Structure 1
Amino acid sequence: MPALSIRLLAIVAACALALPAAARPQRIVSLNLCADQYLMALADPQQIAALTPFARDPQMSAGAAMARTLPVARGHAEEVLARNPDLILASPFRRREALAAVDASGRLTVDVPPAESYADIVAQIRLVARAVGHQPRGEALIARMNADLAALPRPPRRAVAAYYQRRGYMTGTDTLIDELMGRAGLINLATKLGKPVLSRVSLEEMVAAKPDFLILETASDRVVDQGTEMLHHPALRGIKRLHLPQAWTVCGGPAYVLAAQSLARQIALAHRVNAQRH
C-alpha cells in the first residue's frame, strides 16, 4: 500500500467513529517531536512502537515523563522498519529522501504539520485520533481543552507583552504564540510595533517600547551563553517577567492549554501585587 496523504486518511477515517481494537494500528512509530505529543495523549501505550529521542527531553517535550517509559527510535529508515510499524507519524518538512525507503515499504504514513493556531491543534488531534483508532478519546480531549480555555480569567485590562527570546528575537503576529497571548488577555508588542512573524528587537527598542511584561521561556531563566545574556541585561530589570516552559510552546498540542492557564495565573498575580502596592 502506498503512503496515504492526510486528506485520504481523513476521508477513510471519517467513515467510522472509532475502530474496533483489532483494527487499530498496534505498532506506531513517530518521527516528529510534535507528533510524539499527540501520540502520547491519544494512543494506548502498548500501541507505541517508538517515539523520537526528543520526546524524553524535558526542555523540548511536554510529555517527557511519560516518554521515559516508552521506546524511542532515531528515525533512520533501517531502525524504523526494524520496528515493523503499521503506522508512521512523520513531518511534511522532513527530508523526503530520509523517508524514501519507508515510503517504498508501503507503510501507512501520516504527516503531522506544525500548528499555527488553536484550530490547527484541534484538527491535528482529530487527525491523529482517527489514525490511531481512538476518535472518541480525541473528541473528549478537545472538549476538555475547550472548557479549560473558556474558563480562563480575563484580566482587568489588556496588558502589552513581548515574547522575547534569546539574541533578542521577538515572536510576532499570526503565530501560535500570538494567539496564545491573546487568549490570556495580552496584546502582543509586535502588533503595536508592526513587526513580522519573527524579528530582532534591540535592547534600546525594547526599553523604549515599555511593555508591561516580557514572556521568557524557562530555558532562558538564567544566563547560560551570549544568547541568553541580553535577556538579563540591567536595562530590562524594570519590566515584569512571565515564564513559560519551552516544552509547552515548542509544539502545538494539549500543552497549549497549560501555557494559557499559566499565563493567565501569572498575569492575575501580577495585577494583585500591583493593586496591593497602590
Structure 2
Amino acid sequence: MIRPLTIAATAIFLLTGAAAPAPRRIVSLNVCADQYLLALADPRQIAALSRFARDPELSAAAAKARGIPILRSGTEEVLAIQPDLILGFPIGPGMVAGAPPGRWATLGLASAESYPMILGQIRAVARAIGHPDRGEALIARMNRDLAALPHAKGKGVAAYYQRRGYMTGTGTLVDDLMRRVGLTNLAAKLGKAALAQVPLEQMVAARPDWLIVESATDRVQDQGTEMLHHPALRAIPRISLPQSWTVCGGPAYVQAAQRLTARLNGQR
C-alpha cells in the first residue's frame, strides 16, 4: 500500500485539559492510535475505534478490536459519544470539526518513523489513559524481544518495493527496521526520498540483494501487483511482510524485525 504523505520528522504529542482521573470514554480516530489503545487500555475504557480497526490488512491488532464499537459516520458520531479523551492525528483544534474548543482532552500522534518514536508514543498514550505502568511493561517486553534477536547472517542491500513500483525510502519505519537487522536501504544508495517511484528497469539494474514486499502482493491481483512478479525480478530473494506490521508504529515493530531476521537467516 502506498502510504499517504503524513511523515513527520519528530513525534508531536499534544495533551490538553487539566489533570483528571483515568478517562472512561476514549475514542481513537485512526488505525495507528487504535493499536496503542488496544495494547494499553482496559476494554471498558474504549468507547470507539477507527473504521479500519478490524481490517487485518491495516491493523496488526485487528483481532483485539472485535466487540468494540467502530466509528462509521464521522464527526456526528464522535460528538454523540461525548468522549473524555480523543486519540489520533491530525493534531490541533481541528481534530474533530464542530467540537467546542477545549471541550475534550486530545492526544495527537504524528507518524512514528523510528523505534525511539514508537517508545515515546507508547509512554504518551499510557500516561494519557491512566496506565503508565503498562506502557513501561510493554516497552520492557519489546526491548527484551529485540535484544534476543539472533545475529542476521544475510546482509546486503534491500529494497522495500510496493505496487506500481513505489519504493520506501530513508527516514521511514521500514528504513529503521532495515538498519536494525543490518540491511542497507537501496533508496539511500539511489538518493531517493521517503516514497519514490522506481521503474522496473531501474530496480533490475540496481540489483538489490533482497526485495521486501507486502504479503498482500504475494499473488498477482491487478496491474499494480503484476509488475512485482515480472520474470526479471524472480532471481532476487524476497522477504514478505504483512502491511499491518509496518504501516504504523507500535508493538508489531518487533514482529517485523523477527520476520526479517528469520528470513535473512534462511528460515521461511
TM-score, structure 1 length as denominator? 0.86
Taking only aligned residues, the RMSD between alpha carbons, in angstroms, comes to: 2.2
Please state how far the C-alpha of 1:105 moved relative to its aligned partner. 6.8
CA distance in 1 between counterparts of 2:119 and 2:233 reads: 37
Residue 6 (str. 1) matches residue 13 (str. 2): yes
Correspondence 1:131-170 to 2 at 5 A: 131-170=128-167
Q: Does residue 86 of the first structure (1) align with residue 84 of the second (2)? A: yes
Q: Which residue of 1 aligns with 2:114?
A: 117
* Equivalent position amino acid for 1:203 in 2: L
1:172: Cα distance to partner?
0.9
Distance, in Å, in 1 between the alignment partners of 2:93 and 2:165 is 30
Greater C-alpha radius of gyration? 1
- Residue pair 1:9, 1:131 contacting (<8 A) in 2 also: no
Identity of aligned residues (%): 62
Shift of 1:225: 1.0
- Which AA in structure 2 matches 1:240? P
Letter in 1 for 2:106: T
Change (3 A) 1:103 1:253: farther
From 224, 230, 237, the equivalent of 1:240 is 237
Q: Is residue 266 of structure 2 the alignment partner of residue 269 of structure 1?
A: yes
Q: Separation in 1 of the partners of 2:135 and 2:171?
A: 26
Partner residue in 1 for 2:72: 74
Q: Aligned pair in 2 of structure 1 residues 95, 59: CA closer, same or farther (>3 Å)?
A: farther
CA contact (8 A) 1:103 1:109 kept: no
| Larger relative helix fraction | 1
> Deviations along 1:76-120, whole A, 9 cap, x unmatched?
222012112111112026992x61322437011111111011111
Q: 1:75 Cα deviation (Å)? A: 5.8
2:165 and 2:156 map into 1 onto residues whose CA distance is: 21
Task: Tell me, yes or no, if the aligned pair for 1:49 and 1:83 is still in contact at 8 Å.
Answer: yes
Aligned mate of 2:204, from 204, 207, 231 = 207
Name the CA shift for 1:235/1:76 in 2 (closer, same or farther; >3 Å).
same
Q: Which runs of 5+ in 1 are unaligned?
A: 14-18, 274-278
CA shift digits 1:220-260 (9 cap, x unpaired): 11111111110011111111110000011111111111111
Q: Does 1:219 align with 2:216?
A: yes
Aligned to 1:34: 32
Map Cα deviations across residues 14-65 of structure 1 (whole Å, 9 max, x no partner).
Answer: xxxxx8xxx2111111011110000000001111000012010000000111
CA distance in 2, matches of 1:103, 1:188: 45
Secondary structure of the corresponding residue to residue 96 of structure 2: helix
- Is the contact between residue 163 and residue 170 of structure 1 (CA under 8 Å) also seen in structure 2? yes
- The answer for the alignment partner of 1:99 in structure 2 is 96
2 CA distance for matches of 1:239 and 1:146?
32
Q: CA deviation at 1:9?
A: 5.2
> CA offsets per residue over residues 144-192 of structure 1, 9 Å max, x none?
1111112222223522110000111111112111011111221111122
Is 1:51 the equivalent of 2:49?
A: yes
How many residue pairs match? The answer is 257
